[in-house]
Amino acid sequence: MVILSNQVEVRAFAKINLLLRVTAKRPDGFHEVQTVLHGINLADELFFEALPPDVASRLTLLRGAAPEFERNLIGRAWRLLHEEFPHAVHPVNVRLAKAIPSGAGLGGGSADAAATLVALNRLFDLQLDADALERRAAQLGSDVPFFIRGGCQFGAGRGELLERLEPLEHLHGVVARPDVEISTAQAYGAFTAGTLDQPLSKWELAGRIAAMRRGLYAGAMENSFERALGFDRTEGPYAAVRRVRAELIEAGCVHAMLTGSGSAVFGVAPDANRAQEIAERMRESQPFSQAVRGVRQGWRWIEEDPQVR
């Protein structure tokens, strides 16, 4: 085993979906999607320390809540590499500071899994390139490959078939999350043949992305889950999410939409200053309201990116 450093520290960025179209149910039980994912600067922080081979890996929470190591995607990512490189990948002590809420559609668990693959690759000198890491990430979940490179990408298939896009310049907004968690499995289970969407053609997709680059988000953003889960109803389990979306528009966002399968809502702001103002106003009714901006990567070494989130 070669350990380049006894500890590595990584910041794992969240994502939003600027477009998410669910188009078909697959024979394997998953769904076909078309999605445009973009990284944002809301981030978890993970600290990895190599341990001797005769002790068990462990996870310590510095902030927030998460499953224990064996039930966490962090643990699954470690196990994946340990089984492939049993003499190289030793147990680790992981300290995790959560900032990305769970059950929100922001990809926090997937971001942590990707950051774990990246961190262990460096910690144990596995010398895996980004393509190799993405292949392993796909075994952990549909969203995990996105976070290896991050930035802005178009996703097809289950979301794991990725095409890199130039990140959107001046993407600013507010992420607000009501006190509601939405299970991804529950959300996909709401789709029936009648609620699935037709796929967009490559020309329609190109037009949507071009509109976003011009700041015309209202006509370009779309999320199939809003229809399938009945977010336009004034009552029911998702009424709180619908209210958050309306509050973001009232507070000054040019457009707002559920991200992923929810429950977080992303509102596009005209600029960084307005995003801060809107977030402060939103906190009066929605405590988790964060001004965010787009980022060009899925993760960063903390020593290279020491700024406070």
Residues serving a catalytic function are: 15, 143
Report the alpha-carbon distance of residue 261 to residue 191 in Å, rounded.
12
Report the alpha-carbon distance of residue 68 to residue 79 in Å, rounded.
14
Provide CB contacts within 8 A for 66, sequence distance 6+.
Answer: 59, 72, 96, 98, 102, 112
HSE-CB for 23 with a 13 A CA cutoff: 17
Torsion of CA 32, 76, 265, 295, to 10 degrees: -100
H or E segment to which residue 247 belongs: helix 239-251
CB 74 within 8 A of CB 96: yes
Report the alpha-carbon distance of residue 273 to residue 130 in Å, rounded.
35
Report the alpha-carbon distance of residue 70 to residue 256 in Å, rounded.
36
